[in-house]
Amino acid sequence: MKKITYCLILISSLSSQSMSSLNYTGFGLDVGESGSGIFFNRTWSKSEELCFISEIRIFDVKHPDEIIIQDYYTNRSYKFNDINLLLLPLFSGVKYYPFVGKIANNFAPFVSAKVGPLLTLDGAESGTFKEKWNTNLDYYFTLGGYFGVGADLLTSNSTILSIRVGYDILPMKGQIDGSDQYNGALVRFGYNWKK
Cβ atoms 164, 112 nearer than 8 A = yes
Amino acid at 68: I
- Cross-strand partners of 88: 119
State whether residue 126 is helix, strand or coil: coil
Residue 101 CB-density burial (10 A; 0-12 exposed, 13-18 middle, 19+ buried): exposed
- Nearest residue to 28 (alpha-carbon basis) of 192, 195, 169, 158: 192
pLDDT at 24 over 80: yes
Please, are residues 123 and 84 in contact by the beta-carbon 8 Å criterion?
A: yes
15 pLDDT exceeds 50? no
Per-domain residue ranges of the chain? 2-10+24-64+76-194
The C-alpha torsion from 31 through 53 and 194 to 156, rounded to 10°, is -60
Q: pLDDT tens digits for 37-84?
A: 999 999 998 888 999 999 999 998 887 777 788 888 888 887 776 788
Cα–Cα distance, 65 to 61 (Å, whole number): 12
Q: How far apart are CA 159 and CA 74, in angstroms?
A: 46
Is the domain spanning 2-10+24-64+76-194 CATH 2.40.160.20? The answer is: yes
Sign of CA dihedral 186, 166, 144, 55: negative
Residue 51 · residue 45 · CB < 8 Å = yes
pLDDT for the residue numbered 14? 47
Q: What is the pTM of this model?
A: 0.78
pLDDT of residue 149: 97
Neighbouring C-beta atoms of residue 97, cutoff 10 Å = 21
Selection from 117, 61, 58 nearest residue 90 by Cα = 117
**Do residues 14 and 52 lie in contact, with contact meaning Cβ atoms separated by under 8 Å?**
no
